[in-house]
Amino acid sequence: MIAALAFYLFAAILIGSAVMVVTARNPVHSVLFLILGFFNAAALFLLAGAEFLAMILVIVYVGAVAVLFLFVVMMLDINFAQMREGFQRYAPVGATVGAMLLLELGIVLGGWKFAPDAANFRFAPRIAELENTAHLGQLLYTDYILLFQLSGLVLLVAMIGAIVLTLRDRGPSRRQIIARQIARKASETMVMVDAPIGTGVGAADYLHPIPEAAEKPDTHEHAHAGHGGH
């Protein structure tokens, strides 16, 4: 009885959060509702006895994928006012496409029929000697290894797309020039100071002008002296 109530509670929150992911106006709120949905899906996995899938859902999807989505959405700097400008113009087209998709889903679900022996093929035959996690790993990395690699490729493409969208050339930003760092001499960056015991070291003891910079004030002084002579 308690397990059934917990199932309906988590399922209701999961469906509600999934709806809010699509209908929320703020993308940041959509990502937060997505994280809530992941947690409730993990709770449903725990109720079903798939504790490994529940932990993977929390660690991988909540701790990595959803947080990555959140950072990308926050870095995109979306102009919501500009996005809403063409809403009324394209609303009839969007409503027409949505109605057609809803009609197609209704036709598919209306003609759906389960095979008589479908319940017997819902799960792969489980080996009694292996635990749940070991059996899942053996099934995933043997029979479905190609699909597993394709899913990783899809995530890689999504990561590259997120990097391309957020990469901006800010122009005057300071960048690392490795050649200059290697060519730099120790005498240009380090000064040896003989500090007597009991006395401190002041700025005049270790700050000295660069030779090129030291010559410039002399030229200015000669220029001023020349003007003064005239």
> Residue 201 domain-assigned?
no
Our count of domains for the chain comes to: 1
Q: Which two tokens stand for residue 1?
A: 């009885």
Q: What is the pLDDT of residue 93?
A: 87
- pLDDT confidence of 229, banded at 50, 70, 90? very low
Q: What is the pLDDT of residue 201?
A: 66
Residue 13's CATH number: 1.20.120.1200
> Residue 26 domain-assigned?
yes
Q: Cα(15)–Cα(40) distance, rounded to whole angstroms?
A: 9
pLDDT of 54 strictly over 70: yes
pTM given for the model: 0.50
Q: Nearest-CA neighbor of 58 among 41, 75, 70?
A: 41
> Residue 204 domain-assigned?
no
> Residue 68 domain-assigned?
yes
- Amino acid found at 17: S
pLDDT of 12 strictly over 90: yes
Q: Nearest-CA neighbor of 70 among 44, 97, 38?
A: 38
> Residue 44 domain-assigned?
yes
Q: What is the pLDDT of residues 150-166, one digit of tens each?
A: 999 998 999 999 888 88
**CB environment 127-149: b (16+ within 10 A), e (fewer):** eeeeeeeebbeebeeeeeeeeee
Q: What is the pLDDT of residues 88-121, one digit of tens each?
A: 777 888 889 989 999 998 888 887 777 777 666 6
Most confident stretch, 89-103, 127-141, 180-194, 203-217:
89-103
> Residue 228 domain-assigned?
no
- State how far the alpha carbon of 113 is from the alpha carbons of 116, 117, 118, 122, in Å: 9, 12, 10, 15
pLDDT of 76 strictly over 90: no
Q: What is the pLDDT of residue 26?
A: 79
